[in-house]
């Protein structure tokens, strides 16, 4: 397996080396937003710091700035009021695809990420991340919270450019990838630079506290701080004192808990903004706030149609605020159509950093808007995307959904009237653009990304239901899947299994690369172990099948440890 650090390649922002960087800074000093409107003031004396905050399942309507009648979010709102609000900003309909695009400036299908679980949310090792761009530029880089682009080497955040991390596995705390005993938002078991550590307190508080400690430590040099909360994603755990006021307003329990979680996020954001001011970093720091998709549950969403998982506006239109005091005019509203893919080129441009020498789909939002731009969004369950299934093509005015519904968003932002029959030429144009895009972003195919076993970088490797695959793979009690792996070095391995009590005697069958071993399992046993087994090197399918009275299911975890020291 090749370490992605070994083949990171970059071009300068203008393709002109140091001269290009100078011209880039001159452009920023002049500044432009939209079609020539002034945006950026005088150039900074040092490269700006960047703080990027992204919350999970917080919809466009979950902000008082966007008209929510029940929820006050003064500190989150202040980022938009003191900077620029991108009012037509979009994400993917679900978590991992948004994060892949955010980190790379590329459509998620180019990166191999098609879904949120079952082995479909691992980002290809060759992709260059935002953290790598900043780290190559001399920034200190830190991630605090959710990664959701791979739990194993070489896909972990510390493998992808982040020097300091405090994060959780999979898509959220309380999911099957969590280590035993780490399933709650309170006192969670997290990973500090890949090493398990028990933390005390509430997860969002922990992530912000760790981010602020990182900022304090690195205040003398440029830093990139990525705070990715798992709140307000389920499970909806929050202290009662934050949820109670919303119950008293007559809101249902689900909404009360979500709004309590958002209030906590707002308070933590305020603490971070206050810290930047106290450390005299406010003028030198770009702060961005966005969310990863629309809300999962029905609640106020500014009159938009659809929820998380949908390509209607309610599922993909999200907040995006960018504050840069003294450089961006406070109170600016930018109506151009924009998306998650735009933040890498925008932030790299603002900081004078070169972009990767690869296809970047995003645009620099601090430059004049590109006329006639078309964006594409798609997501559905499955190992690979399917033409026009749960997909849309979006221009500034028009939006074509599944090649069936056409909406004039300038006249009908609620997407209530299908005008496809009246505008066949628009349908044909967007259909053609989508088909060309679909073919291009899928050029590499969607073969499974294999998890390396027995490397010096990660030994042992604990496989979870987050990354198993197959027609029965899920998170249910009777689910069964397999893992696509690559044994880096042949040799002797210890294999351990963790499973729920079976309630009756069972047998466990382990298979990998032509090697098979069958173990008896008692009804009460929750662990099993193969003390030593010879495994051949190379790609293989790993299966672990529990058979209980003729019914098969999989274990929760399978851990493989190379007994001899792995060779780098």
Report the half-sphere exposure of 185 (CA within 13 A, side-chain side): 18
Alpha-carbon span 327 to 319, nearest angstrom: 21
Helix, strand, or coil (residue 46) = coil
Helix or strand holding residue 100 (H, E): helix 95-104
Q: Which CATH superfamily, name and number, covers 451-562?
A: Galactose-binding domain-like (2.60.120.260)
3-state percent breakdown (helix, strand, coil) of the chain, nearest 5: 25, 25, 50
What are the CB-based long-range contacts (under 8 Å, 24+) for 2-7? Answer: 2/125, 2/154, 3/125, 3/154, 3/159, 3/457, 4/125, 4/126, 4/127, 4/128, 4/154, 4/159, 4/160, 5/132, 5/159, 7/126
CATH of domain 48-325: 3.40.720.10
Classify residue 64 as exposed, middle or buried by CB count within 10 Å of its CB (0-12, 13-18, 19+): middle
Return the pLDDT at 55: 98
Return the pLDDT at 45: 58
Asked if 502 and 521 touch (Cβ cutoff 8 Å), the reply is yes
Asked if 119 and 449 touch (Cβ cutoff 8 Å), the reply is yes
List the structure tokens of 388. 């026009």
Classify residue 2 as exposed, middle or buried by CB count within 10 Å of its CB (0-12, 13-18, 19+): exposed
At which residue do the structure tokens 């679980």 appear?
A: 117
Helix, strand, or coil (residue 248) = helix
Q: Residues with Cβ < 8 Å from 386, sequence gap 6 or more?
A: 380
Helix or strand holding residue 259 (H, E): helix 253-278
Alpha-carbon span 204 to 191, nearest angstrom: 15
Q: Residues with Cβ < 8 Å from 74, sequence gap 6 or more?
A: 64, 266, 270
At which residue do the structure tokens 């605090």 appear?
A: 144
Sign (positive/negative) of CA torsion 465, 467, 468, 470?
Answer: positive
Helix or strand holding residue 25 (H, E): helix 17-30
Sign (positive/negative) of CA torsion 213, 215, 216, 221?
Answer: positive
pLDDT in tens, the chain (568 residues): 333 333 333 443 333 222 233 333 333 333 334 323 434 544 445 799 999 999 999 999 999 999 999 999 999 999 999 999 999 999 999 999 999 999 999 999 999 999 999 999 999 999 999 999 999 999 999 999 999 999 999 999 999 999 999 999 999 999 999 988 888 999 999 999 999 999 999 999 999 999 999 999 999 999 999 999 999 999 999 999 999 999 999 999 999 999 999 999 999 999 999 999 999 999 999 999 999 999 999 999 999 999 999 999 999 999 999 999 999 999 999 999 999 999 999 999 999 999 999 999 999 999 999 899 999 999 999 999 999 999 999 999 999 999 999 999 999 999 999 999 999 999 999 999 999 999 999 999 999 999 999 999 999 999 999 999 999 999 999 999 999 999 999 999 999 999 988 888 899 999 998 999 999 998 787 899 999 999 999 999 999 999 998 999 999 999 999 999 877 7
Give φ, ψ of 564 to 5 degrees. Answer: -80, 150
Measured from the Cβ of residue 35, the count of other Cβ atoms closer than 10 Å reads 9
Alpha-carbon span 439 to 39, nearest angstrom: 36
């Amino acid at each position: 397996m090749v370490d992605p650090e070994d083949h990171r390649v970059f071009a300068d922002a203008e393709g002109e080396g140091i001269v290009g960087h100078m011209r880039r800074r001159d452009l920023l000093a002049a500044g432009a937003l939209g079609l020539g409107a002034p945006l950026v003031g005088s150039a900074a004396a040092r490269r700006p710091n960047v703080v990027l905050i992204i919350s999970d399942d917080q919809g466009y309507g979950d902000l008082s700035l966007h008209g929510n009648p029940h929820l006050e979010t003064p500190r989150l709102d202040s980022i938009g009021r003191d900077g620029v609000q991108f009012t037509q900003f979009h994400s993917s309909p679900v978590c991992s695809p948004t994060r892949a695009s955010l980190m790379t400036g590329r459509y998620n299908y180019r990166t191999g990420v098609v879904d949120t679980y079952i082995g479909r949310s691992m980002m290809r090792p060759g992709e260059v991340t935002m953290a790598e761009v900043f780290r190559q530029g001399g920034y200190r880089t830190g991630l605090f919270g959710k990664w959701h682009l791979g739990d194993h080497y070489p896909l972990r955040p510390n493998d992808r450019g982040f020097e300091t991390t405090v994060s959780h596995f999979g898509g959220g705390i309380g999911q099957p990838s969590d280590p035993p005993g780490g399933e709650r938002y309170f006192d969670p078991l997290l990973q500090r630079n890949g090493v398990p550590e028990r933390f005390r307190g509430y997860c969002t508080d922990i992530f912000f506290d760790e981010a602020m400690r990182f900022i304090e430590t690195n205040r003398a040099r440029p830093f990139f701080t990525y705070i990715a909360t798992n709140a307000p994603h389920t499970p909806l755990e929050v202290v009662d004192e934050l949820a109670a006021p919303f119950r008293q307003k007559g809101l249902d329990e689900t909404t009360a808990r979500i709004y309590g979680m958002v209030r906590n996020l707002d308070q933590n954001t305020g603490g971070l903004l206050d810290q930047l001011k106290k450390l005299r970093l406010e003028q030198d720091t770009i702060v961005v706030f966005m969310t990863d998709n629309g809300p999962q549950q029905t609640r106020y969403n500014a009159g938009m149609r659809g929820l998380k998982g949908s390509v209607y506006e309610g599922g993909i239109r999200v907040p995006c605020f960018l504050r840069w005091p003294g450089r961006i005019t406070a109170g600016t509203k930018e109506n151009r159509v924009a998306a998650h893919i735009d933040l890498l080129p925008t932030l790299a441009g603002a900081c004078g950093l070169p972009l990767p020498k690869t296809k970047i789909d995003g645009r620099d939002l601090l430059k004049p808007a590109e006329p006639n731009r078309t964006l594409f969004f798609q997501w559905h369950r499955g190992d690979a995307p399917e033409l026009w299934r749960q997909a849309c093509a979006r221009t500034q005015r028009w939006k074509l959904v599944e090649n069936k519904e056409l909406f004039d968003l300038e006249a009908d932002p609620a997407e209530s009237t299908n005008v496809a029959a009246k505008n066949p030429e628009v349908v044909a144009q967007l259909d053609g653009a989508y088909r060309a895009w679909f073919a291009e972003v899928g050029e590499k195919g969607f073969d499974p990304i294999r998890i390396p076993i027995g490397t010096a970088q990660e030994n042992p490797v604990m496989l979870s239901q987050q990354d198993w695959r197959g027609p029965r793979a899920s998170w249910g009690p009777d689910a069964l899947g397999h893992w696509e792996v690559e044994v880096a070095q042949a040799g002797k391995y210890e294999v351990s299994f963790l499973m729920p009590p079976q309630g009756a005697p069972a047998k466990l069958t382990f298979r990998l690369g032509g090697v098979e071993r069958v173990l008896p399992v008692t009804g009460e046993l929750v662990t099993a172990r193969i003390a030593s087994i010879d495994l051949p090197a190379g790609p293989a399918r790993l299966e672990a099948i529990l058979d209980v009275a003729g019914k098969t299911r999989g274990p929760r975890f399978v851990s493989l440890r190379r007994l001899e020291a792995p060779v780098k």
